Amino acid sequence: VLGLACVSASECTAGGYYQTATTSPAMIVSGSGSSWTAISGPQPKGTSKLYSRLNAVACPSASACVMVGNDDNYKDDVQGLVELGSGSSWTAVNGPLPANSIPVKSGPQEPPPHQIYSVACTSVNACVAVGLYESSKATEGWLLTGPA
């Protein structure tokens, strides 16, 4: 678990990843105290990613959370990942990259390319996420805004 947000003392949502023999999918956990439920995070439509990681979570309401991170399949382009939902109902999209971004293959790059690191929301209609992406010139800051 890499990120956690609580809308009350009895309702929290966390995100991260877990390991299997061949993959490392995103993990979404909800609950509190000694009662937690974990599910695999969904993948964006049209992807078959083997690796997903959720770095941060923000929940501006009990029914609207945002999780951010990245996903890749160790062959194709690494993508920023945004998960939207609550409880056991989530949808996933790739974070829209800036026009000057370049495709980046998986590898030992530090920091990892095309990754969203943090998210904050002041309401369900106002969220900001930050990360890094690769352009042809350098690793650059990445700012995303939108609703939860």
Question: How do the pLDDT tens digits run along the chain, 148 residues long?
Answer: 999 999 999 999 999 999 988 888 899 999 999 999 999 999 888 776 678 899 999 999 999 999 999 987 556 678 899 999 999 999 999 999 999 998 887 665 566 678 999 999 999 999 999 999 999 899 999 999 999 8
d(CA 91, CA 42): 6
Q: Which residue has the tokens 């890094």?
A: 132
d(CA 27, CA 2): 10
pLDDT for position 130: 97
Which is nearest to 135 in space by CA: 113, 108, 111? 113
Q: pTM for the complete prediction?
A: 0.91
Strands 79-86 and 64-72: antiparallel
Residue 81 CB burial class (10 angstroms; 0-12, 13-18, ≥19): buried
pLDDT for position 47: 72
> Given phi > 0 = left and psi -120 to 50 = alpha, else beta, which region is 21?
alpha
pLDDT for position 83: 96
Kind and range of the H or E element at 8?
strand 3-8
